[in-house]
Amino acid sequence: MTNLFKITGTVTLKKGAGRQLKSGGMWVYDNEIDTFSETVEDGGLIELHDFDDYFMGIGFVNRRSKITVRMLSRHEGEINEEFIKQRVKDAVSYRMDTVDTSSCRLIFGEADFLPGIVIDKFSDVLVVESLALGIDRFKQLIVDDLKEILKEYGMPIRGVYERSDAKVRQLEGMERVKGFIGEEFDTKVEIVENGVHYMVDVVNGQKTGFFLDQKYNRLAMQRICKGKRVLDCFTHMGTFALNAGIAGALDVTGLDISEYAVSQATENARRNGLEDTVHFRCANVLDELPRLAAVGEKYDVVILDPPAFTKSREATKNAIKGYREINMKGLKLVKDGGYLATCSCSHFMTQELLAKTVKEAAKAMHKRLRQVEFRTQAPDHPILWANSANVPESYYLKFFIFQVVDEK
């Protein structure tokens, strides 16, 4: 274990580089670095120095990645087992204070000062996503610490599954990995969120198996959906649709392009005794919304929860067109006085940009919007603030609820 904590060398910044880091960021990019000392090992710990040799902190290094250094500490001092355990303790303690911990995100990478690792808890199962070479070496230690700490809180864990199968691992020079950490177990896990029961498939579900970040946004929609006719677009496992159903919606339709997602959602409706009011069908939302409008369909509530239309700054312009188009199509189906819930899960689609895009869509459809609420991701996905901007990727989910009225 001692080699794990060895400082392998020094990385020195170019003069004038590291502006994001100096403003509270957690990353150093390849083009900001002047020199590596000869002893530096990829995946190992290094000291980061400014151009004038001023100590800036300790982090993981990986010369194969554009994000070459991920910061672990701003202070001089030993990184050891106790250091890591304290970070894990702090992450769990924060969730105990802020969210329902029956199912939640326990570790959110940089926002929990454990860069590159995400761990979700679904009932008594942990799902791990490790995306950086340095933190990957600490993965087993972090999992063991987490299991021990949760046991102390009376939450024993029966199994751990790894879903480090995202393409981004290849940018780190790492293979995509998927499988059990420790003993095998039944990977179908039943969870309860906002009173809704789901069967989560941690092996085949998207990302870690279930999107926990919208938990309280789904809850916020329950009040609005009671007694209403609801259309849930990009429904995935039927989460918004089922929250509407359990709140007493009259009729709910969920649309998704994935047959697997629709079968999961349909099974979840049966699990909650909602099969008479909540229905799902496989459809391309972009094609289906104009078809529904053409036959004169109208809904009290339309929910738009699309996948990220942009995962890079360069693709943002095209993404804006996509968000504008989907919101125009959604607005056309909302009754006068009905409600639109619309969101973006892209870090690059800022709150201001999404608001501007939705405003343009409403203008094009001759609708007026009255903002009911603006929300972000659940508190178990904390947004880490920095002096210049939020730490990259930690603030990504923007969620608007509007009342939609015809122009008066």
> Tell me: the pLDDT tens digits for 339-360?
999 999 887 888 999 999 999 9
pLDDT tens per residue, range 269-292: 999 999 999 999 999 999 999 999
Q: What is the pLDDT of residue 2?
A: 54
DSSP E strand stretches across 209-360: 229-233, 251-256, 278-282, 299-304, 334-344
Helix (H, G, I), strand (E, B), or coil: what is residue 367? strand
pLDDT of residue 406: 93
Q: Is 345 a catalytic residue?
A: yes
Question: Is the Cβ–Cβ distance between 198 and 268 less than 8 Å?
Answer: yes
| pLDDT range class, residue 56, cuts 50, 70, 90 | very high
For the domain spanning 2-73, the CATH number is 2.30.130.10
Of 225, 233, 343, 345, catalytic: 345
Residue entry with tokens 């009671």 = 226
* CB within 8 Å of 152: residues ≥ 6 apart: none
What pLDDT score was predicted for residue 194? 97
Strand order of the β-sheet with 177-180 is 103-108, 117-122, 125-130, 159-164, 177-180
**Mean pLDDT taken over the chain:** 94
CATH 3.40.50.150 domain locations along the chain:
213-406
Beta bridge partners of 334: 299
Type of residue numbered 91? A
| Domain 81-191 belongs in CATH node 3.40.47.10 | no
- Please tell me the predicted confidence (pLDDT) of residue 1: 45
Within the chain, how many helices (H) and strands (E) appear? 11, 20
Q: Residue 37 and residue 39: Cα distance in Å, rounded? A: 6
**Domain ranges in the chain with CATH number 2.30.130.10:** 2-73
Reading the block at residue 279, the tokens are 């229905």
Please give the radius of gyration of the chain, using alpha carbons only, rounded to the nearest integer.
Answer: 23
Condensed to tens digits (0 to 9), the pLDDT of residues 164-206 reads: 998 989 989 999 999 999 999 999 999 999 999 999 989 987 7
Which residue spans of the chain are classified as CATH 3.30.750.80? 81-191
Q: Residue 66 burial by CB count (10 A; 0-12/13-18/19+): exposed, middle or buried?
A: exposed
Domain 213-406 CATH superfamily: Vaccinia Virus protein VP39 (3.40.50.150)
Strands 229-233 and 299-304: parallel
Under the banding of pLDDT at 50, 70 and 90, the label for residue 387 is: low
